[in-house]
């Protein structure tokens, strides 16, 4: 069976290796002349079947590549991200299936399309399961995944925070603008060992030897020393990077040996901020536009015919919009207190909307997943490049927001 290389107008035909004679009529073909054979039937092949040029990836290797694309360390501490369902190893992946929400209808589609790994933006398993039976729909998802050897992975807020993630995609619909995270992410680790730095001076060599010996006997401490001059007196400055627990032990030693040191400083170290990474986006447009124009831009970007609007006090559809604060999904907690002309998110509580409007801030709500789902098309392209087109990556066609305007 021969598959065409392009996955939009794929055809397949029966082929043989021997050359037919003029008197030969092959099964499945009709004779037009002694020199031409044509197939009697042509069948379209769905684009998700075209896999002849693809190879497999081991699940563990694929998960490592996905983490390189957007680290799970970006995710919020309360979130449940990463590999949620794993078939018994080894498990290879030929088809990666992308969806915003993994419902039973979407699972059926994934199985029909021979998915080996489902990337569900929202984690289908969030609260702890005490049993896995056929009773609830989320339990049935786990059962069907394991029965059919399909892994399930969820990035959720890791993709919200990522520089090339959901919120950056949402900002693309506003027009030309500069963006920065509303709540920047910090690096997963401190720049040095430990979260605290303790510095003090020691006057005499014998004192320094005693101090260094005692400090080095405490775990989770990194020690350096250097010469310093204070009040025309040569001293040795000792600097320690340590954990909170180690800091308390060092201070306990020093408090019992006050004659050994002087001029003490304690610094609390912070994890460095990550560039262009974090929750929400504060977007400053190059040129102001009317609220009415911004509404049309958002509708076009999200492919929506309707959205919900709360006008800020004293504002009209002709009011200018220069600064937009946005957060995909449910953005009330992220947007709260941010100064902007417009809040854009999927959903907010009634009282959060009232609070924003009272401050003259317009609010646009598009329903939760409508502010996220469109990102998956960009993700499909980006992952194709990142994974060097080693596997098939397909989008769900049944995934959609559960709420509709009627």
Known binding residues for a divalent metal cation are 122, 160, 368, 372
- How far apart, in Å, are the Cα atoms of 276 and each of 159, 189, 287? 13, 17, 22
Phi (first) and psi of residue 325, to 5 degrees: -105, 125
Q: Which helix (H) or strand (E) holds 354?
A: helix 350-358
Strand spans (E) along 148-306: 151-154, 177-186, 196-202, 221-230, 233-242, 262-268, 273-290
Structure tokens at 339: 């100064």
Rounded Cα distance between 345 and 340, Å, is 13
Running DSSP on this structure, what letter comes out for residue 96? E
* Burial of 198 from C-beta contacts in 10 A (0-12 / 13-18 / 19+): buried
Rounded Cα distance between 158 and 85, Å, is 18
**Helix segments in 282-349, DSSP class H:** 291-302, 332-335
Which parts are annotated binding residues?
A: 122, 160, 368, 372
DSSP lists the bridge partners of residue 119 as 98, 153
Q: Is 386 left (phi over 0), alpha (psi -120 to 50) or beta?
A: alpha
């Amino acid at each position: 069976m021969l598959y065409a290389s392009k996955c939009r107008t794929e055809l397949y035909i029966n082929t043989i290796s021997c050359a037919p004679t003029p008197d030969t009529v092959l099964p499945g073909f009709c004779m037009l002349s002694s020199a031409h054979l044509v197939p009697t039937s042509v069948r379209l092949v769905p684009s998700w079947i075209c896999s002849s040029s693809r190879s497999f990836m081991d699940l563990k290797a694929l998960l490592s590549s996905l983490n390189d694309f957007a680290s799970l360390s970006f995710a919020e501490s309360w979130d449940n991200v990463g590999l949620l369902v794993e078939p018994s190893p080894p498990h290879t992946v030929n088809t990666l299936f992308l969806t915003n929400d993994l419902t039973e209808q979407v699972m059926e589609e994934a199985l029909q399309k021979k998915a080996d790994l489902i990337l569900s933006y929202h984690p289908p398993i969030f609260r702890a399961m005490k049993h896995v039976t056929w009773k609830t729909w989320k339990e049935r998802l786990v059962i069907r995944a394991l029965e059919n050897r399909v892994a399930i992975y969820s990035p959720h807020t890791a993709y919200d925070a990522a520089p090339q993630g959901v919120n950056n995609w949402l900002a693309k619909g506003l027009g030309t603008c500069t963006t920065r995270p509303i709540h920047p992410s910090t690096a997963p680790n401190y720049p040095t060992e430990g979260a605290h730095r303790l510095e003090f001076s020691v006057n005499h060599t014998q004192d320094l030897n005693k101090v260094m010996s005692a400090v080095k006997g405490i775990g989770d401490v990194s020690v350096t020393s250097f010469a310093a001059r204070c009040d025309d007196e040569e001293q040795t400055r000792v600097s320690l990077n340590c954990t909170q627990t180690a800091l308390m032990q060092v201070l306990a030693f020093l408090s019992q040996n006050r004659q050994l040191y002087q001029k003490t400083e304690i610094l609390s170290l912070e994890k460095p901020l990550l560039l262009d990474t974090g929750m929400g986006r504060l977007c400053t447009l190059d040129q102001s536009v009317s609220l009415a124009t911004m509404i049309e831009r958002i509708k076009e970007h999200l492919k929506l015919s309707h959205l919900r609007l709360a006008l800020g006090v004293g504002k009209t559809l002709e009011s200018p919009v220069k600064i937009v604060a946005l957060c995909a999904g449910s953005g009330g907690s992220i947007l709260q207190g941010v100064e902007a002309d417009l809040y854009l998110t999927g959903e907010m509580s009634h009282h959060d909307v009232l609070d924003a409007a009272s401050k003259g801030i317009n609010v646009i709500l598009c329903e939760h997943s409508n502010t996220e789902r469109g990102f998956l098309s960009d993700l499909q392209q980006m992952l194709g490049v990142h994974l060097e087109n080693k596997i098939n990556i397909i989008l769900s066609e049944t995934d959609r927001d559960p709420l509709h305007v009627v």
